[in-house]
Amino acid sequence: MSDVRQTIDDYTDRVARHLTGAARDRARAELGDHLSEAAEAGELPEALGRLGTPAEAAASFAELRTAQPASINVRFVAVLIDNLPLVGVSAALFLQGLYGIIEHGTGFALSFPPFVYVKIGDGCVALMTVQCGAYDGAGLTYALGLPLALAWSIVGLGLLEARTGTTPGKRLMKLRVVTETGLRIHPVTGIVRRLSMLLGPAAWLDWLPVVWGDRRRVLDRLTETKVVPATPAEEP
C-alpha cells in the first residue's frame, strides 16, 4: 500500500508543479481523493491512464486557461512597481547628467530603461553606437547600480514569476503570469520574456502591439505567455 500511496503522491506533486495559486491546492486535494478511491477499487493504473501526463491533468485544473489578458493600464502600474530599482538608477543617472551640464557643460542621456553598453579597452560593445559613452561620467551608479537593477528586473522577477506566478507589482494589482493554457511558466521562460530590458529605450518596441489594441507584448507572444487577472471572474 505504501507504494500505491507514493505513486499517488508523486503524481499529484508533478501535477501541482504546473499550477499556481488556488488551482494548485485544489488539484492536490481533488486528485488525491480521486486516485485514492481508484486505488481502493483496484483501478489506479486505469485512472492514471485517463488523466494522462501531469501537464495534461494540470490543464483541467488551470482556472486561468481561458482568462483574457489584463488591461495595459494595470500592467503598466505593475511594471513600474516591479522595476523601482531600475527607475531609481535611471533617476540617479539623469541627476548626474544634469549636474554635468551645469558644472561642466557636458551632455547626458535620458532614457528608461537606460542605455546598455560595455567598454573594452578603447572599444565599446552596444546595440547601437549612439549608446557608447552615454554614461561615462556616472561612476558606480552605472557600473554597479545598473547591472544590479537589471539583474533584479530580468532574473529576479523572472524567477519569481516562474515560482509563484506573480511579482510584487502583479500581486498588488492582482495579476498573474501563466502559459497560454493557464499553467505555471518555466524559469527560462520567465527570464526570456524580460530580456527586452537589455535593449535600453528600444525595449519599448516590445510594447508596440499596444498601439493596435493588443494586450500582449511581443515577448508575451514569443514565449506563449499571458498576464491575466489573478481571479478569473474579475479584472482589476
The residue that leads in pLDDT, 8 or 194, is 194
pLDDT of amino acid 109: 64
Q: How confident is the model at residue 235 (pLDDT cuts 50, 70, 90)?
A: very low
Q: Domain coordinates of the chain in residue numbers?
A: 2-59, 72-229
Task: Answer whether 228's CB lies under 8 Å from 67's CB.
Answer: yes
Rounded mean pLDDT, 190-211: 92
Between CA 61 and CA 19 the distance in angstroms is 8
Better-scored residue on pLDDT, 124 or 166: 166
The residues near 179 (Cβ < 8 Å, ≥ 6 apart) are 185, 189, 224, 225, 226
Task: Tell me which amino acid residue 145 is.
Answer: G
The percentage of the chain sitting over the pLDDT mark of 70, rounded to a whole number, equals 91
Q: pLDDT per residue over 66-122, tens digit each?
A: 889 999 999 999 999 999 999 999 988 888 877 666 665 555 567 788 888 887 877
Closest Cα to residue 165, out of 177, 157, 173?
177
Cell numbers for 139, please give them: 561612476
pLDDT for position 105: 54
Find the range with the poorest average confidence among 54-68, 89-103, 149-163: 89-103
Q: Is the predicted pLDDT of residue 1 greater than 60, yes or no?
A: no
Q: Cite the DSSP H helix spans in the chain.
A: 2-16, 21-40, 44-51, 54-59, 72-82, 84-104, 140, 146-151, 157-164, 168-172, 187-192, 218-222
Query: Measured between alpha carbons, how far is 220 from 207 in angstroms, rounded to an integer?
Result: 10
Is the pLDDT reported for residue 236 higher than 60? no
